[in-house]
Amino acid sequence: MTLELDLRPVLITAAEIRLTLLAVAFVIGTAAASSLVSLPESVRLIVLFVHLGSLVVGFGAVLSIDWYGLLWLRGRATLSDMINHAHRATTLTWCGLIGLCLSGMLLSPDLNSPLTLIKIGAVAGAAAVGVCALAAGRRLRSWRDNPPRQVMIFGLVLAGASQVFWWTAVVIGFLAREAR
C-alpha cells in the first residue's frame, strides 16, 4: 500500500525558511555567547527566577495553543477559535522563548555536557517548530473551517514535535539543576 500526500498546501516559503534559520541561529548564538559571561552567585538566583518565569510564560502559551487544538479535534471549538487563540498567544510564546535563551545564557550552561547540548538542540527545535507553526497558521486561516488533510497532519506533527522539544528542555533543565 502506498500513501500519497500532496504536500503543496503545506510548502514552506523561502522567507519562512530564512526566519527559521534566524531563530535557530539566535538559540545557538546565545548558548555560545554564554562562555563570555559569568555572574556573581547573588545575581544568579534572580536570573534563575527570570528563567523559570519565562518558562511559565512561553510553555504556558504553547500548552494553551495545543489545548485549543485538542478541543478543535474533538469538535468542541471551531478552527477559527483555535487560529485566533494561537495568533494572540504567539507574542507570549516568543517572549518566553527569548527570555529563556537570554536568561539561560547568563546561567553559565556547561557546554561540555552532552545533556546541555541536547537541551540546546531541543530549544533550537522548539524555535524552528514555532516559526513553522506561524506558517501553518497562515495556511489554515485561508482554509476557514475545512482544511485539507495534509494541512491537518502538518499541524498535528508540528504540535507533537513542539511538545517533545519543550518537555526535553524542561526535563534536562531540571536534571542539570538536581545534579548541581
Give me the residues that bind ligand HEM (CB under 6 A), please: 27, 30-31, 34, 48, 51-52, 55, 100-101, 104-105, 107-109, 120, 123, 126, 166, 169-170, 173-174, 176-177, 180
Of the pair 5, 39, the CB lying nearest ligand HEM is at: 39
CB of 60 to ligand HEM, least distance (A): 11
Specify the length of the chain in residues.
180
DSSP sequence for 79-108: HHHHHHHHHHHHHHHHHHHHHHHHHHHHT-
CB of 178 to ligand HEM, least distance (A): 7
Of the pair 24, 77, the CB lying nearest ligand HEM is at: 24
Of the pair 64, 150, the CB lying nearest ligand HEM is at: 64
CB of 70 to ligand HEM, least distance (A): 21
CA atoms of 119 and 124, how far apart (whole Å) = 9
CB of 94 to ligand HEM, least distance (A): 12
CA atoms of 52 and 96, how far apart (whole Å) = 9
CA atoms of 18 and 24, how far apart (whole Å) = 10
Instruction: Say which amino acid occupies 55.
Output: L
CB of 56 to ligand HEM, least distance (A): 10
DSSP sequence for 41-69: HHHHHHHHHHHHHHHHHHHHHHHHHHHHH
Of the pair 7, 46, the CB lying nearest ligand HEM is at: 46
Distance of alpha carbon 35 from its chain centroid, rounded? 24
CA atoms of 147 and 165, how far apart (whole Å) = 26
Of the pair 119, 139, the CB lying nearest ligand HEM is at: 119
